[in-house]
Structure 1
Amino acid sequence: MTRLLVDGISFQLNDTDIARVWCSVLEQLAQAGRFEIYFLDRGNAPEIDGIQYIPFPRNLFAHNPADSMLIQRICDHYAIDVFTSTYYTSPMHTPMLLVVHDMIPELFNFDLSQRIWMEKDAAISYAQRYLCVSENTRRDLLALYPEIPSEMATMAHCGIDEVVFRQRNASAIANFQTKHALERPYFLFVGSRAQHGGYENSDLFFEALARIQKADFDILYVGGEHEVRQHILDTLPKGVCCNMLELTDDELALAYGGALALVYPFLYEGFAMPIIEAMASGCPVITTGHGSLAEAADDAALLIDGESVEEMHQALMRIQDTVLRETLRT
């Protein structure tokens, strides 16, 4: 049986989206029984039957060679056949499959001299096979690293837990809304609102909201930053409230189910999990056609160009039409 070593670094980093994907992947791998799975536990590891956990030092992103050498010692000790990482760490000579989620830092002017991105570059240069979460990510990877043979990079879309992300009944949604004092219709915004290189594009949403003269809705933020910038609060239409919640996946599915729409104005994503979660939960989606976003949404979302404030404003108004929302739900 093939011996697989997985570095659980994304759980240490508490990267919620990536860690959630990996938790599902690990559960499926363990159930399949085709691998003898070993897991480097750097902290916050999920408890999954059928996996052997190995306590491992936290990665401080300050000693890449030492970290890789220690990974290799584990590979040698357990006679590992294949290594993979939940983020961007690598061994010294054990064969590696690298899962590539996106090329955002490389395309949006991040400081690539930061150690974490240097480790990503090292992992890409070292790996022998690549699994990209969207065709768009695969194209970007091959464009940025033309030395990688195209046949060595494959694509597989991320899936969702259909037991959790599904359309809920009206009473369950109403109970959720009552519990969290969501008394009016609301637009849902999931994830970071920070402007790292501008790819989140959240300002487009807020600028469009400012154009609405009379608003009978609120905004629900799930995840991301713990505060809304004051200058944004100052521009919101009169009476609009911003609610911020940290939710379990089950609660998030209910939040999707009760929303007017998920607003996801990003200009780039590796593969936008909130979009497919929302659609599976019966939530209309407003997003852009950039990167893998159209790939994720297909023809089941209200697509905008991501640059026009007026177009976003019109989308926010249109999505409140009951007929359009029902069309997008189905």
Structure 2
Amino acid sequence: MDASPLSIGIDASRIAVAQRTGTERYTYELVAALARVDRRSAYTLYTNGLPSALPPLGPNMALRSIPLPRLWTHARLGPELARRPPDVLFVPAHVVPTIHPPASVVTIHDLGYLAFPQAHTARRRLELELTTRWSLRAARLTIAISQATKDDLVRRYGADPARVRVIHHGLGGSFRPVESPLEIADAQDRHGVAPRYLLYVGTVQPRKNLERLIDAFAMVADRPELAGVQLVIAGGRGWLSDGIERRAAGHGLAGRVHLSGYLPDEDLPALLSGALAFVFPSLYEGFGMPVLEAMACGAPVLTSSSSSLPEVAGDAALLVDPADTSAIAAGIARIVGDPALRAQLRERGLARAATFTWERCARETLAVLRESVEPPV
């Protein structure tokens, strides 16, 4: 492969988001890792206005702010690419603009709107359907963040598997076990968390299966091994989140189910480290980054046996059927009541998480970007 320097344009519009979850975190961490592993290519990061926080950028990375209130991708980014086209355009978390260089690469994270359509408005589903189909056609190569997502793209949209590359996410260095009991207790106090707790972290929306998680917790909350244990649901509110609050109130578990809201990044490692277990019985995930973050902090993990989650968790988590409330309840009781199991999952999880690095993700992504500019055979 030709290793000559490339000019690489990146749609970095998602970097500007203040509360980074999922795709925003992926964009931020991947750009930071590319800055560490590649000092030869010339990067232009396109943003819609000046971001409030940027990852550490390399000297070969330039920021290009091209603000426009609406239709930024097609009306502002596209014409900019036409005026000064890079060798390759990388779209890590958005849609390929209508005007784009022939060598364009897009990352598609999941097809959750098809797997769980009731979590989206009809208008949003149509938008996601059209933009995903368009990006698959427009991009020379597509990156899927898991084999499960690639399989979905091939099955649902007839994507050519030869044009889809699987590259797993990395894991930020800030996720590591917090050993200080005082630091853990301080984080618990700041967020109203009890000393013994199960923790969920992610967007509060129906596809995360939180109503069933609350029902499962209610089934075993009175068992002796769960005495005083709190279920903490941490995350920003998403589509149809009100029903989750009503579900918690309906079980009469005042103080036992705690919706803490969005947790700042600086508090996550301590709260993950202090949890009895991390519980993530999501119905569908393109990757499931919270599972890896929990493992890296030493939290035993209970997660789903469906979508990409077994692929990410390997043998380092207790897997349950996310559609079976009784199975989730049994898993909760088992993981809380078995210290030996928790110790085993902690050890396996730390080893598993260590294999996912953003440097590896960046190098593999850079290889795909280079591949996209090679003349077709």
TM over 0.5: yes
Does the alignment pair 1:108 with 2:120? no
Q: Secondary structure at the match of 1:122?
A: helix
Q: Aligned to 2:169, which of 139, 151, 158?
A: 158
Conservation of the 8 A alpha-carbon contact between 2:113 and 2:128: no
State the distance in 2 between where 1:186 and 1:236 align: 18
Contact 1:212 1:237 in 2 (8 A): no
Structure 1 stretch 286-295 or stretch 205-214: which is displaced more? 205-214
Deviation at 1:298, TM superposition (A): 0.6
Selected match of 2:106 from 98, 118, 123: 98
Tell me the equivalent position of 2:85: 79
Match of 1:276 in 2: 292
User: How far did residue 49 of structure 1 move?
Assistant: 2.5
Question: What is the CA–CA distance in structure 1 between the aligned matches of 2:86 and 2:177, rounded to whole Å?
Answer: 42
Structure 1 match to 2:315: 299
Larger CA deviation: 294-303 vs 180-189: 180-189
1:259 corresponds to which of 275, 280, 294: 275
* Distance in 2, Cα, partners of 1:307 & 1:107: 13
Deviation, 1:58, is 4.7
The reply to whether residue 135 of structure 1 matches residue 139 of structure 2 is no
**Bigger helix fraction:** 2
**Residue 67 of structure 1: how far off its partner (Å):** 3.7
Measured in 1, the distance between the counterparts of 2:255 and 2:235 equals: 23
Q: For 1:307, what is the secondary structure of its paired residue?
A: coil
Equivalent residue for 2:178, pick from 159, 168, 176 = 168
In the alignment, residue 89 of structure 2 is paired with which amino acid? F
Distance 1:30 1:41, change over 3 A: same
Match of 1:211, SS state, is: helix
**Counterpart among 47, 52, 71 of residue 62 in structure 2:** 52
Note closer, same or farther for the CA distance 1:58–1:267 as it changes in structure 2 (3 Å cut).
farther
Deviation at 1:178, TM superposition (A): 4.0
The 8 Å contact of residues 5 and 83 in structure 1, kept in 2 or not, is answered as yes
1:314 aligns with 2:291: no
Shift of 1:157: 0.8
Q: Verify: 1:234 aligned to 2:242, yes or no.
A: no
Structure 2 residues without counterparts, runs of 5 or longer: 348-377
Partners of 1:236 and 1:135 in 2: how far apart? 41
Change over 3 Å in CA distance of 1:130–1:306 after alignment to 2: same
Paired amino acid for 1:10: R
Query: In 2, are the aligned partners of 1:29 and 1:35 still within 8 Å (CA)?
Result: no
Where do 5+ consecutive residues of structure 1 fail to align?
none
> In 2, distance between residues paired with 1:323 and 1:118?
49
- Cα offsets for 1:66-101 (capped at 9, x unmatched): 842532322233331111223232232402101111
Partner of 2:368: none
Q: Shift in Å at residue 135 of structure 1?
A: 0.7
Q: Residues 164 and 236 (structure 1 numbering): CA distance in 2 closer, same or farther, change over 3 Å?
A: farther
Note the aligned Cα RMSD (angstroms): 2.3
Q: Return the TM-score normalized by structure 1.
A: 0.88
**2:218 aligned residue (210, 213, 216):** 210
Name the SS of the counterpart of 1:87 in structure 2. coil
Instruction: Tell me, in whole angstroms, the C-alpha distance in 2 between the residues paired with 1:33 and 1:77.
Output: 25
- Identify which of structures 1 and 2 has the higher relative contact order when contacts are C-alpha pairs closer than 8 Å and 6+ apart: 2
Cα offset, 1:176, TM superposition: 2.6
1:238 CA drift (Å): 5.4
Q: How many residues align structurally?
A: 321
Deviating beyond 4 angstroms after TM superposition, the runs of 4 or more aligned structure 1 residues are: 12-15
Q: Aligned partner of 1:19: which letter?
A: E
For the 8 Å contact 1:88–1:120, the answer to whether it is kept is no
Q: Give the fraction of aligned pairs with identical amino acids, expressed as a percent.
A: 26
Q: What TM-score do you get using the length of structure 2 for normalisation? A: 0.78
State whether residues 210 and 236 of structure 1, in contact with CA within 8 Å, keep that contact through their aligned partners in structure 2.
Answer: no
8 A Cα contact 1:3 1:35, kept in partner:
yes
